Structure 1
Amino acid sequence: MDTPPEAGPKLRQVVLDTEDARGLAEFYRRLLGLAYRPGDEPPPPGQPDERGRDWLVLRDGDGEGVGLAFQQVERAPRPTWPGTGQAQMLHLDTTVGSAEELRRQHDRALELGATVLHDRFDDPEEPLYVFADPAGHPFCIFVA
């Protein structure tokens, strides 16, 4: 008989270092349809953005899923993947249900400021694109 795995910490969020926490949070908020944690929303126009210069968190609608956080840093070297040099350290995987939706999300990602790092749209087993977000962090959108 299998024994249940030992309970461990619960994954709360993935944190991306960035030189522009508000800008990167806005990119992922729009791309993934997430919402700011209460208190992390952008301030009214003309007001200082104190939180945007430190730490921001995005969550799904019910606030229960794994969040995406953004930590302001002075310097964040851009990954050079797929080339050599600066490793990517991690990347985000996102999925869509069809090749048609993948095409639509490809166009949305580009409109929001992403760049394509790798195009594997024609792969019959797993069509995908690898993008870099505006700060250079790689992320994938693929059909699952």
Structure 2
Amino acid sequence: MAYPQLLHTVLDTTDVRGLAEFYREFLGLQYRPGDEPPLDGPDDEDWLVLVGEDGRRRLAFQLVDRLEPTTWPEHDVPMQLHVDYTVPDVAELERHRDRALALGARLVLDRTDNPDEPLYVLADPAGHPFCIFVA
């Protein structure tokens, strides 16, 4: 039996190019051929895809009129989905937290005092939460 395979994860956003640029820089991805920013003219894309060096799709972004960011850890607006990223050690954890913040992320939770699994929960510029932790 052939099972379904994950193609990519799609994130809703009110700023498709802006959120794609955040993840392109943060994760070292590249645009799917044809999705690169235009050299001239308007950039009014409502759907973009980022791929890895191997050309496999990783993340996609779709335009929505309105996006209500999660209020997690409060439950007024549930998280619904988040992505976990790992790094090899605490030094890399700190480095990538700083990179994410410089790219426009917001720190939601600092759990680096946990010796078993230090981690940060951040929110991307659209408000989607993601975790970085030491594997």
TM-score by length of 2: 0.96
* Distance (whole Å) between structure 1 residues aligned to residue 52 and residue 113 of structure 2: 31
Runs of 4+ in 1 over 2 A off after TM superposition: none
Give deviations 1:81-127, integer Å, cap 9, x for gaps.
11121111100111100001001111111100111111011211111
Pairing 1:62–2:57 present: no
Structure 2 counterpart SS, 1:135: coil
Provide structure 2 residue ranges, at least 5 long, that are not aligned to the other structure: none
Which one has a bigger Cα radius of gyration? Answer: 1
Q: 2:103 aligns with which of 109, 112, 127?
A: 112
Name the counterpart of 2:43.
49
What do you get for the CA RMSD once the two structures are aligned? Answer: 1.0
How does 1:1-80 map onto structure 2 within 5 Å? 6-44=1-39, 46-51=40-45, 54-64=46-56, 66-80=57-71
TM-superposed deviation, 1:50:
3.2
For residue 104 of structure 1, give the secondary structure of its aligned residue in structure 2. Answer: helix
List runs of 5+ in structure 1 lacking aligned partners: 1-5
**SS of equivalent to 2:110:** strand
Query: Counterpart amino acid of 2:86?
Result: T
Q: How many residues align?
A: 135
Task: Return the letter of the residue paired with 2:34.
Answer: G
Shift of 1:78: 0.8
Q: TM-score by structure 1 length?
A: 0.90
Q: Specify which of 83, 87, 98 is matched with residue 92 of structure 1.
A: 83
Deviations 1:4-29 (A, max 9, x none): xx421110000000100100000000
